[in-house]
Amino acid sequence: MFKDTLRKLMLTLALVAPVAAAEPLVFTAIPDQDETKLRERFQKVADYLAEELDTEVRFVPVKSYAAAVTAFRNNQVQLAWFGGLSGVQARQLVPGSEALAQGVEDAQFRTYFIAHESTGLEASDQLPESIQGMTFTFGSKGSTSGRLMPEYYIRQQFDASPEEVFSRVGFSGNHSRTIDLVESGTYQTGALNFAVWESEVAAGNVNTDAVKVIWETPTYADYQWTIRGDVDERFGAGFKERVRKALVNMDDPKLLASFPREGFIPASNDDYQGIRDTAQALDLID
């Protein structure tokens, strides 16, 4: 009788005891735009991935590009939406990590150089010589389209550092802020991600009488989703490929438009060798 009572008690405890929750997949994204927009976009991505992967997915915002790389290195996040440079930096710090997917546009990305109307600069097939001596703002120091590639082309055009070319050089922190600073005349010129420019113009957020595109760079590979190499051990065999498939299959028009991207395609680490080489040439990575 005692054994029967004990068995019933153990069964009751098993039924009422809380079940241990499965470990969540946590991801972040570089803060390349207004924080409110990013939170809204990536919460929707988290909801989408949770449904596709049948697991809890959390988005954790960060304050800087460097913080996104650090969170990935420290395993605080297992997945991240990086720019070309920040992705190269993160994968270098976490052996075995992989670029999973990129936007259709990211295989042929480009930077726009913009200027305030008071400069008199017009659209050109090359970076105008007369930009020398003006004030100029990059985006974030860790940005591919807002710092790495524009600096590369400035040095290539003028055989001098940005500090030698311009009278004052700043870092706005993100692409949206670069537009604001040049539109207001705080800086005469700047460089930013072409997709953010086109999205903000389409949304009516840019006074194109005050600021205009004066040059666009040749294309290069940029943004991508990067995942840690140990996710299959952590979440089960085949998990990495399930994440890749979910990203590539994302087809909600509104969600894609928030990036903005036409869609996502598979990517690999080799796609970003050119970014690595450029970053090494500018001594931004070892």
Q: Which domains does the chain have, with CATH numbers?
A: 11-106+221-281 (3.40.190.10), 110-216 (3.40.190.10)
Tell me, what's the pLDDT at 7?
53
Alpha-carbon gap, residue 213 to 31, rounded angstroms: 23
pTM of the model: 0.81
Task: Return per-residue pLDDT of the chain as tens, 286 residues.
Answer: 545 554 554 444 444 433 334 789 999 999 988 888 899 999 999 999 999 999 999 999 999 999 999 999 999 999 999 999 999 999 999 999 999 999 999 999 999 999 999 999 999 999 999 999 999 999 999 899 999 999 999 999 999 999 999 999 999 999 999 999 999 999 999 999 999 999 999 999 999 999 999 999 999 999 999 999 999 999 999 999 999 999 999 999 999 998 889 999 999 999 999 999 999 988 888 8
